[in-house]
Amino acid sequence: MPRLAANLSFLYQELPFEARFAAAAEDGFAAVEYLAPYACEPGWLVEQLRTHGLTQVLFNAPAGGCSRAQVHAAWDEGWRGTACLPGQQAAFRYGIDLALDYAQALNCRRVHVMSGTPSAAEAGDRLHWLRQLEWAAERAAAQPQPVTLLLEAINHTDMPGYWLHTQQQAYAALQEIGHPLLALQLDFYHCQMTEGNALAQLKRYLPTGRVAHTQIAGAPGRHEPDEGALPWKALLQTLDQAGYDGWVGLEYRPRGSTRAGLAWARHLLG
Ligand SMILES: O=C(O)[C@@H](O)C(=O)CO
Ligand SMILES: [Mg+2]
């Protein structure tokens, strides 16, 4: 059956971040993901993973910023990546190198690279987006342990104006760049919200061999997958039948306690 990873930015919010590793391990997870490791020293994170027997399977490249201080402030300032924004090339490149350093330290093989949100101040540029992703993939390929960089389509209800919002847009970019270290992060929640047919999209893109990571949440509430319209059983079965060897990140806001809300997934956890 598909392997589940706990997203520590969404699950266990009833606990401080440093306590979430132990909680995930106690609930039977073997792997974790979260949005940003940059507030923590890599050595501390490695120690958390080692102590609790966890694998780090994903995190995001910085949302913006050209220095550690700017990276820390970027999300709250509204940055959601910089890849499509020509005026942000320095921030994009700084962020990719920082993310790749963390990926090496944490032995993490997948990094999500956010595309950015064009605004009145700066329009998005498709050619620039493609060239930046290509540059990043080359940097990833030069690492001692190669890292796959992921593109995730995000819905416009949660993230208005976000550049990358359909699977087709992401897949076309991958095809055009043609780099083996660029792949899809198929978040079923965003897919269901935007395209209304997460199962059909999975069946379309899984056979391409370019889906390297998936995430799940019920739609439209973004709570546990057993609430709402997402066909979660069929999605997991489809991954299973295809021999998908990636992870499924549980990226939802629990209705109540995280542990109680894991009932739907209990049979899939250790
Ligand atoms: O779906 C999400 O929100 C995340 O996977 C992410 O990386 C951007 O917020
Ligand atoms: Mg996601």
251 is catalytic: yes
Contact predicate 79/115, CB 8 Å: no
Tell me, using a 6 A CB cutoff, whether residue 60 lines ligand 1: yes
Whether the complex's predicted ipTM is more than 0.90 is answered with: yes
pLDDT in tens, 115-125: 999 999 999 99
> 251 C-alpha to center of ligand 2: Å?
6
Structure tokens at 209: 């061999």
Contact between residue 201 and residue 231 where contact means Cβ atoms under 8 Å apart: no
pLDDT band with cut points at 50, 70 and 90 for residue 61: very high
Of the candidates 55, 144, 40, the residue with the CA atom closest to the CA atom of residue 106: 55
pTM for this model (two decimals): 0.98
Predicted pLDDT of residue 130: 99
Ion ligand 2 nearby residues (CB, 5 A): 187, 215, 251
What percent of the chain is predicted at pLDDT more than 70? 100
Nearest residue (CA) to ligand 1, atom 2: 154
Reduced to 3 states (helix: H, G, I; strand: E, B; else coil), residue 248 is: strand
Question: What's the pLDDT tens digit per position in 222-255?
Answer: 999 999 999 999 999 999 999 999 999 999 999 9
Distance 53 CA to ligand 2 centre (A): 24
Where residue 55 falls among pLDDT bands split at 50, 70, 90? very high
Ligand 1 closest atom vs CA 187: 1
pLDDT digits (tens, 9 = 90+) for 146-156: 999 999 999 99
Average pLDDT, the chain: 98
pLDDT given at position 108: 98
pLDDT-derived band of residue 1, with 50, 70 and 90 as boundaries?
Answer: confident
Please pick, among 33, 152, 224, 227, the residue that the annotation labels catalytic. Answer: 152
Tens of pLDDT, residue by residue over 72-95, are 999 999 999 999 999 999 999 999
Catalogue all structural domains in the chain, each as residue range(s) with its CATH number. 7-268 (3.20.20.150)
Kindly calculate the radius of gyration of the chain based on its CA atoms and give it in whole angstroms. Answer: 17
Q: Which residue has the tokens 């979430």?
A: 20
Separation between Cα atoms, residue 10 and residue 33, nearest integer Å: 10
Whether ligand 1 lies within 6 angstroms of the CB of 148 is answered as no
> Has residue 131 got a pLDDT over 90?
yes
- Mean pLDDT within 118-146: 97
Answer whether residue 214 shows pLDDT above 90: yes
What's 225's DSSP letter? T
**With 90 as the cut, is the pLDDT of residue 15 above it?**
yes
CA distances from 192 to 205, 206, 226 (A): 14, 16, 14
Amino acid at 188: F
Q: Which of ligand 1's atoms lies nearest the C-alpha of 215?
A: 5
Ligand 1: residue whose CA is nearest its atom 3: 154
33 lines ligand 1 (CB under 6 A): no
Q: What is the DSSP letter of 181?
A: T
pLDDT value for 172: 98
Among all bound ligands, the one having the nearest atom to the CA of 214 is: 2
For the stretch 187-213, pLDDT in tens is 999 999 999 999 999 999 999 999 999
Q: Of 33, 224, 227, 251, which residue is the catalytic one?
A: 251
Which residues on adjacent β-strands are paired with residue 5?
249
C-alpha 112 chain-centroid distance: 5
Give 22's Cβ-side CA count (13 Å radius). 5
Distance, CA 155 to ligand 1 centroid (Å)? Answer: 10
Asked if 182 contacts 199 with a C-beta cutoff of 8 angstroms, the reply is no
Q: Is 152 a catalytic residue?
A: yes
Distance between CA atoms of 256 and 42, rounded to whole angstroms?
Answer: 31
209 φ, ψ to 5°? 75, 10
